Chain A
Amino acid sequence: MSWHVVWDNAGWLLEGFWVTLQLTASAVSIGLLLALVLALLTLSTHRYYRWPAETITFFFRGTPLLVQLFLVYYGSGQFRHELDSIGLWTYFREAHFCAIFVLALNTAAYSAEIFSGAIRSVDKNQIEAGRAVGMKNFVLYRRIVLPQALRIAWTGYSNEIIFIMQATSLVSIITVLDLTGVAGRIISKTFAIYEVYIAIAIMYLVITYTMVFIFSRLEKRLNRHKN
């Protein structure tokens, strides 16, 4: 048993912890914007808007995140010349960029499904009433549909954020030094396998349940009109 390895490398582990939080924040914020676009396209009555959005959602929900990461990080090498000629290769050869790119698209696909479901379940009569008093689409969405959809979507969406936070651990496989990546490096130097893995497991538990706590507080706040 060599628990001191964990204390000796605490600084390094905290750096990884920070990278994990940053990855989660970037993926969630970019993913949220993409998800809203995808959700609105999915709800469109126009076939040519709906079809691409549904294909993207189906692909990212139906394949493992690891396959998506490898497809972008290793797969982009197959198009190196093409990517180079349009100046994108400098991005795609960076594991960190690929990680955020894939995580954002992945969470966007799952969230789009949650959002479109929530928007669909907003009471039809309210939309008709809004139209009847002369609201244009944008005002109708901003004042009537989205605030209510947010409440309906909140539980599902907060679970999705926690899922994607945990899923960031996979980026260690494509050489990003997040919490899991740092743990792997420490283990290959010290062979303190379970000590380090148990330590980071506890760190992930702490992040997860902190998020659960914050989200349930926010949920209470969102629904404060109900009691």
Chain B
Amino acid sequence: MFNLEGYSFAIFLGLQQTLLVGLLAMLLACFIGVFGALAKTSSSKALRLSASFYTATIRGIPELILLLLIFYGVPTILQDLSASFGLEIIIDLNPFIAGVITLGFIYGAFSVEVFRGAFGQVPIGQIEAARAMGMRPGLIFYRILFPQALRYSIPGLSNIWMLLIKATALISVIQLDEVMRMTKIAANATQKPFTAYLFAALLFLAITLVSILIQKYLENKYTRGYH
């Protein structure tokens, strides 16, 4: 059924790039999410406002536009700015890095909400108790808040991961050799576009299925002792 004249191997190579971009972007998204959530609940008004501005803008703009803006727009903005200071520089973003940064920033905005909800679920009494014992804010975060919030955030983060891994297909637009771009090459070479894209679709379905299994495993693992 999937006779792609050896191109299926190329698509498998693309899968490695897809997963690598996806995982790195997810890591960045979680990082942004934690700090964004802390900023949104902080006592500083400036921090709160900038975190809200970030989540509101990112969620209001389609992923594709943000990707194109970062990959093609940011280098030209910098070049134009430096030209106005009389400097000649040429910036070329690597599609891999641009992809990780863009997806990380987009899904970071979503994970801010997940972490904010998760931090909110940790009972305030525990934090007061920790403070009463003389723990500093950093230590409270590291020992009390974060480990428990992580557990509450698993369902939300899994949803984000499923959206993120599907969004990696967009990076083919900026010429990264991930699944979609390799599939396009295979489709053109074999003249069997339907077979090729169906193959790619099944790969993504497989990723989704494996992700669901991992999510179940993690949920079981981290809710042990709570039932």
Contacts and interface: CB of A to CB of B under 8 A. Distances in A.
Contact of A205 (B60, B72, B195): B60
Contact of B201 (A67, A180, A200, A204): A67
Contacts of B180: 64, 66-67, 70
Interface in B141-168: 166-168
A16 to B, nearest CB: 12
Interface in B29-68: 57, 59-66, 68
B74 interface: yes
A224 B187 CA distance: 54
B204 interface: yes
A148 interface: no
Contact of B193 (A63, A70, A201): A70
| Residue from B65, B69, B72 having most chain A Cβ neighbours under 10 A | B65
Given A201-B65, A204-B61, A205-B60, A193 B201 contact: no
Contacts of A79: 194
A198 to B, nearest CB: 7
A169 interface: yes
B208 A62 contact: yes
B205 A78 contact: no
A64 B193 contact: no
A62 B205 contact: yes
A74 interface: yes
A180 B204 contact: no
Interface in A60-76: 61-68, 70-71, 74-76
B198 interface: yes
B169 A180 contact: no
A202 B60 CA distance: 9
Given A67-B200, A71-B198, A75-B197, A59 B61 contact: no
Contact of A193 (B76, B200, B209): B76
A205 B69 CA distance: 14
Contact of B197 (A71, A198, A208, A209): A71
A209 B195 CA distance: 40
B124 interface: no
Interface string B179-202: 010011001000111110110110
Contact of B73 (A1, A58, A194): A194
Interface string A204-227: 110011000000000000000000
B112 interface: no
Interface of A: 1, 58-59, 61-68, 70-71, 74-79, 166-167, 169-170, 172-173, 180, 193-194, 197-198, 200-201, 204-205, 208-209
25 contacts: A59-B201, A62-B209, A63-B166, A63-B208, A64-B166, A66-B169, A66-B170, A66-B180, A67-B169, A67-B200, A70-B187, A71-B197, A75-B194, A75-B197, A77-B193, A78-B193, A166-B63, A170-B62, A194-B73, A194-B77, A198-B73, A200-B65, A201-B66, A201-B69, A205-B61
Given A79-B194, A180-B65, 7 more contacts: A61-B208, A74-B197, A77-B193, A193-B73, A197-B69, A205-B57, A208-B60
List 8 tightest A-B contacts by C-beta distance, closest first: A75-B194, A194-B73, A64-B169, A78-B194, A169-B62, A64-B166, A166-B62, A62-B208
